[in-house]
Amino acid sequence: MSTNTIASESGSFDIGGRSINRLGFGAMRLCGEGIIGPPEDEADARSVLMRAVEHGIDCIDTADSYGPGVSERLIGEALGDREDVLVATKAGLLRNAQGEWLAHGDPDYLRNQVLASLDRLRTDTIDLYQFHRPDQDVPYADSIATFAELQDESLVDQVGVSNVSVEQLETAREHVDVATVQNRYNVDDRSSADVLEVCTENDIGFMPWAPINADDLAAHGGVLDEIAAKHEATRRQVTLAWLLERSPVMLPIPGTSSIDHLEANLGAARLSLTDEDVRRLTDAAH
């Protein structure tokens, strides 16, 4: 098998008329410790990005707050403005000196951030621009309206939202055609199941953040180990394969700074879980 077909085995999903492989890559971990500052070896980080694309990954997710700015810069340096890779980034979170994530959805701030992201990503239009987190100090509709304006001005192609409730998603859809939602979701954390249901019903891509989490691997290690042994796979691969089975709109974006971990994660695209495997994992957190 040619390595550039691995990610394509996950199936495809259409975002704004653009077909992408359902298994993508999250670029948060390419930064320094604590997601602050540059990594120890920037050349190695760029190599991870290039290897991901070589393996068929054509959706890479990042945010201006990763670094801050570091992840976007590395993606711009490694990939430039490639037509065959959809780069999704986010705005709406600040990082302080203590590494805290602070919501900031002020329209003027968002307008400044899109310009910085365009520069770091070395592109004229951001493929998918996502509102990172609702800001309780700014009306949600005002923040979302800014993203709609940026789309009208061709600074961004598609708009996504993140960390939203069903109500917030519906509010966003009143202002803009929402292409994707990015909420926390994994084997152990199904708190966004209602949001996933809305996405599935309306063909909105759902990007689960923390798709592989130490808590869910530990909490459900027994069943994961049994299924993994049967398929000669790993816990991580089984977890990702289960996500891909949950919904045709599911777009996992596991992240790593290691080429070995990257290639291991891609093995999930080859893994065919049985209906019984899927049922056992689906029932695991109940």
* Residue 66 falls in the annotated catalytic set: yes
Q: How many CA atoms lie within 13 A of 207 on its CB side?
A: 30
d(CA 79, CA 165): 33
Torsion of CA 181, 184, 186, 190, to 10 degrees: -90
**Which of 94, 89, 78 shows the shortest CA–CA distance to 39?**
78
66, 129, 140, 185: the active-site residue: 66
Say if residues 141 and 171 touch (Cβ distance below 8 Å): yes
d(CA 62, CA 90): 7
d(CA 76, CA 58): 14
Which sequence positions are flagged as catalytic?
66
